């Protein structure tokens, strides 16, 4: 199966359907890790990636592995970057399976040969400029005597030339093209990390492309493209014009939630660095919550203040083989749209959600609901402050707070974040809750990694207040206190700066 050139959205629909059913996934180096999240949790994932100078597992070993896993009666996917039959050695592996009587199918992928230039604003064909294109391996050393590339025909026999894996041999490739008839003034470009937010393009001509690439510091893997179509990049490039293109944003949400923010950032062209500052853990065997389940009809309202709270409560319900019917005698409130959706996914339509998605907004909305004398259940994190409880009590309600999950620092992730901050490799730190701020500030410690030069983005005023108390100066506070609102606020800041 071809995984596409890098952007995980470029995998085929059939590819996704097969990933979801696989027992075993044997995968390569140049893949987006998020593709593996499509697999079943119990699927076996085997990395067999090879770099040009590091073959930790040989091709013959990979072939044997595929045969062995198939003979175990398992549904095996060989996941390869780009298209498996375009310099991916997929043909060799398929032939080996055929020799051993293994039934298989081939699922093509979007090849980097056309996708990467397209993301850089370079069409491989164009009426009046290029009526043909040729894809060539750049991994073969052009200087060797027994080259299988017929350079005298290749150099001028096709319009656009696309070399894959050609960075290490770039100088020799250029020499051969010019030597066999291509003009030194022919436009050329080298593209690294194509289709990803870290994409970089260096353009020039055959005369100067080698020196330009050297000056830029580009490293493999890269694609080398030659022809007048390269000039179209000046007007056709679109990917690099996304509002947050190339910006590195530290996502500090809990690991299992970070992908939501990460996907939105990628759509804007940013490079999310998902290093969670916190870990979320449900409090197991929660006797206090179990007792509340049995008395829910005594509560006038149950108020959910986060997606994590919803998840923890329903996980606990499942351990007792209970479901949403236990809430039939109480009204439900949700602090914002994400929490609303989490409830809806579990069969509950909330009775109330404030128009302003903050604790203050939630309190203000309850002022018109006559809650005096009512019991209110408040399931939340163990480190929640008392602002909401005090606000509801001031209106005459009896509030029962129950810690249903613990929020703890993710020390390994924070150590990685600290290293990135010290090396100045981040543009934005995005905080999505007060707990993410607190965990990061404590972990960095006094005299820790400086956030100078890094924009601080907060999802709402409470998170921003926590940041200020921790000695940080928020540059961005989302007007709408949601993850999409946070991304929009980050985008507006950089549009303004530009």
Exposed / middle / buried, residue 215 (Cβ in 10 Å: 0-12, 13-18, 19+) = exposed
Cβ neighbours, 10 Å, residue 170: 21
Strand partners, 203: 189
Q: Is 50 one of the catalytic residues?
A: yes
DSSP state, 373? T
Q: Give the C-alpha separation, 57 to 15, whole Å.
A: 25
Cβ neighbours, 10 Å, residue 397: 22
Comparing C-alpha atoms, which of 14, 18, 55 is closest to residue 40? 18
Q: Give the C-alpha separation, 32 to 35, whole Å.
A: 6
Q: Which of 1, 7, 28, 488 is catalytic?
A: 28
Q: Which of 165, 375, 455, 462 is catalytic?
A: 165
Give how far Cα 273 sits from Cα of 114, 333, 382, Å: 27, 33, 27
Q: Is 28 one of the catalytic residues?
A: yes
Exposed / middle / buried, residue 168 (Cβ in 10 Å: 0-12, 13-18, 19+) = middle
Q: Give the C-alpha separation, 401 to 45, whole Å.
A: 42
Cis peptide before 221 (omega within 30 of 0): yes
Q: Is 165 one of the catalytic residues?
A: yes
The residues annotated with a catalytic role in the active site are 28, 50, 165
């Amino acid at each position: 199966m071809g995984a596409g050139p890098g952007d995980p959205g470029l995998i085929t629909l059939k590819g996704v359907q097969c990933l979801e059913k696989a027992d075993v996934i044997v995968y390569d180096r140049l893949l987006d890790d998020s593709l593996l999240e499509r697999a079943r949790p119990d699927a076996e994932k085997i990395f067999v990636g090879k770099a040009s100078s590091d073959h930790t597992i040989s091709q013959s070993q990979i072939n044997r592995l595929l045969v062995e896993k198939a003979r175990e009666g398992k549904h095996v996917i060989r996941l390869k970057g780009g298209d498996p039959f375009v310099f991916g050695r997929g043909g060799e592996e398929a032939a080996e399976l055929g020799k051993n009587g293994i039934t298989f199918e081939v699922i093509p992928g979007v090849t980097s040969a056309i996708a990467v230039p397209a993301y850089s604003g370079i069409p491989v064909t164009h009426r009046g400029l290029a009526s043909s294109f040729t894809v060539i391996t750049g991994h073969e050393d052009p200087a060797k005597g027994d080259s299988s590339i017929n350079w005298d025909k290749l150099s001028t026999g096709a319009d656009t030339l696309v070399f894959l894996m050609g960075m290490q041999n770039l100088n020799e490739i250029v020499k051969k093209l010019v030597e066999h008839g291509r003009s030194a003034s022919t436009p050329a470009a080298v593209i690294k990390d194509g289709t990803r937010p870290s994409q970089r393009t260096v353009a020039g001509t055959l005369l100067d492309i080698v020196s330009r690439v050297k000056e830029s510091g580009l490293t493999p893997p890269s694609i080398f493209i030659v022809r007048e179509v390269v000039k179209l990049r000046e007007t056709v490039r679109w990917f690099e014009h996304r509002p947050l293109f190339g910006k590195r944003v530290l996502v500090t949400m809990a690991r299992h939630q970070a992908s939501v923010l990460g996907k939105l950032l990628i759509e804007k062209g940013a490079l999310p660095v998902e290093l969670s500052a916190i870990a979320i853990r449900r409090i197991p065997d929660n006797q206090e919550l179990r007792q509340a389940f049995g008395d829910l009809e005594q509560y006038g309202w149950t108020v959910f203040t986060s997606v994590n709270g919803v998840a923890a409560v329903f996980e606990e319900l499942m351990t007792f083989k209970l479901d949403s019917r236990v809430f039939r005698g109480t009204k439900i409130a949700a602090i914002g749209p994400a929490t609303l959706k989490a409830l809806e996914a579990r069969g509950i339509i909330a009775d109330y959600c404030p128009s302003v998605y903050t604790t203050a907004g939630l309190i203000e909305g309850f002022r018109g609901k006559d809650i005096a004398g009512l019991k209110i259940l408040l399931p939340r994190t163990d480190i929640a402050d008392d602002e909401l409880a005090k606000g509801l009590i001031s209106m005459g309600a009896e509030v029962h707070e129950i810690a249903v999950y613990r929020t703890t620092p993710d020390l390994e992730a924070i150590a990685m974040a600290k290293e990135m901050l010290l090396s100045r490799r981040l543009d934005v730190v995005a905080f999505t809750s007060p707990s993410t701020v607190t965990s990061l500030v404590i972990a960095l410690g006094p005299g820790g990694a400086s956030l100078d030069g890094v924009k601080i983005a907060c999802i709402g005023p409470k998170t921003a207040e926590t940041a200020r108390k921790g000695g940080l100066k928020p540059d961005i506070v989302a007007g709408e206190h949601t993850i999409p609102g946070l991304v929009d606020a980050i985008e507006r800041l950089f549009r303004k700066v530009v």
